[in-house]
Structure 1
């Protein structure tokens, strides 16, 4: 799919909110249907996921404490008629250990976000089997 660049937002998420809920709410409030999301900051007690092909579900990895949000990268598209943020994170702890995966939950301590709206026919996620909601494949 081809898109034109739309609005660009630089914003800070409030302390104490769930980052995933915040991005979804921001997109809905601002009428954003498709976007690129990037960010840095720190999260408390994040939960990340790793998709297991064997069990066809995400394995939850719960982390305890405050983690540096080294990178956040993802997108917004439409799922079940509403904006849906699909975000991946790289997180670091006080010992320099790094963890990463699909963001499932994370309380914001600090989060600075870049949201680049993409204008065009919105990408829509649909159940494709294996408990995954994916976009249509681009024809070759």
Structure 2
């Protein structure tokens, strides 16, 4: 999902925008950030899930589209998992909307204090 979305944005030169969606997936890797250690922790879930909400933005980093997407996914027992979506494998359908913000520039720059790539306008 995320690779295809990145290719879509690059091919259509979307460098500033919003992403929304729903769908069905069989695997997802989420990433959580620990501000105390400035480290990421990744966790993969390999099971059929519904994307109940996917939202994020597109900006520019290193002259390429940079995706920052979060998702909430429901499991067979109706519990949910979610966070920063690193990758997902579509199994069924996935419906995404990408709204481009025209010539607006939103770049990313590394911030030493947080350890994150934050917006640079």
Write the deviation string for residues 81-140 of structure 1: whole angstroms up to 9, x where unpaired: 101111000011000010110001111122100111101331001111243111137xxx
Question: What is the aligned partner in structure 2 of residue 11 from structure 1?
Answer: none
How big is the shift at 1:44?
1.7
From 91, 94, 99, the counterpart of 1:111: 94
State TM-score, norm by structure 2. 0.92
SS of corresponding position for 2:3: helix
Q: Match of 1:133? A: 117
Which residue is equivalent to 1:69?
51
Higher strand fraction (1 or 2): 2
**TM-score (ref. length: structure 1):** 0.80
CA–CA separation in structure 2 for the residues paired with 1:69 and 1:99: 10
Stretches of structure 2 lacking an aligned partner (at least 5 in a row): none
**Runs (4+) off by over 6 Å:** none
Match of 1:54 in 2: 36
Q: Which has the higher contact order (CA 8 A, sep 6+)?
A: 1
Q: Distance in 1 between matches of 2:25 and 2:15?
A: 25
Query: Matched residues in 2 for 1:74 and 1:91: separation?
Result: 15
CA RMSD after TM alignment: 1.3
How far 1:35 moved relative to its partner? Answer: 0.8
Q: How many residues matched?
A: 119
